[in-house]
């Protein structure tokens, strides 16, 4: 079982960016957290981040035939990117959406999630823990062979 963890724009600035919303832990901390979860769960994984929409689309396309599932935090592209939605639909790899903050409690423009339309589950407002829940959810989902 191999999971691709994809993070979108500005998540590389975790720790620096709006710490009152996203916390003081850095992107390196997030990668270490995800790696520890995957090792505990005995899951193969790759963690990638990009600030560019097309790169994220490429990464989703390249996941076809290689990864069994995708955990994606498309960050700001969540609310704008039909290209990422279409890529997730195209490859049809089971995907779970994660947001560190609770986007449903934030600005109006964050209320729409295009990527979420192609995801089987969303975890939001749980900080790093959302990634753990997403990975555990996908492990269970894939083990059921659905
Ligand atoms: C985010 C929420 C998005 O609205 C925002 O643009 C981000 C991060 C989150 O993880 O809470 O960059 O995806």
Name the residue ranges covered by the structural domains of the chain.
2-143
Query: What pLDDT score was predicted for residue 6?
Result: 98
User: From ligand 1's centre to the CA of 93, what distance in Å?
Assistant: 22
Catalytic-residue membership of 22: yes
CATH code of the domain made up of 2-143: 3.40.50.9100
Instruction: Name the active-site residue from 22, 27, 77, 131.
Output: 22
Ligand 1 contact, 100 CB (< 6 A): yes
Residue pLDDT, tens place only, 65-122:
999 999 999 999 999 999 999 999 999 999 999 999 999 999 999 999 999 999 999 9
Ligand 1 contact, 73 CB (< 6 A): yes
Q: How far apart are CA 72 and CA 53, in angstroms?
A: 13
Protein residue whose Cα sits closest to atom 6 of ligand 1:
76
User: From ligand 1's centre to the CA of 62, what distance in Å?
Assistant: 24
Catalytic-residue membership of 52: no
Q: How confident is the model at residue 146 (pLDDT cuts 50, 70, 90)?
A: low
Q: How far apart are CA 104 and CA 102, in angstroms?
A: 5
Q: What is the mean pLDDT of the chain?
A: 97
């Amino acid at each position: 079982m191999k999971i691709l963890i994809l993070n979108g724009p500005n998540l590389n600035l975790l720790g620096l960016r709006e710490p009152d919303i996203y916390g003081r832990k850095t992107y390196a901390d997030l990668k270490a957290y995800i790696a520890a979860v995957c090792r505990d769960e005995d899951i193969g994984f790759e963690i990638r981040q990009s600030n560019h929409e097309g790169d994220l689309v490429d990464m989703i396309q390249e996941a076809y035939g290689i990864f069994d599932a995708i955990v994606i935090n498309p960050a700001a592209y969540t609310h704008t990117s039909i290209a990422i939605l279409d890529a997730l639909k195209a490859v049809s790899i089971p995907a779970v959406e994660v947001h560190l903050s609770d986007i449903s409690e934030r600005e109006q423009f964050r209320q729409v999630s295009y990527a979420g339309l192609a995801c089987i589950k969303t975890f939001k407002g749980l900080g790093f823990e959302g990634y753990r829940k997403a990975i555990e959810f996908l492990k269970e989902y894939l083990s059921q062979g659905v």
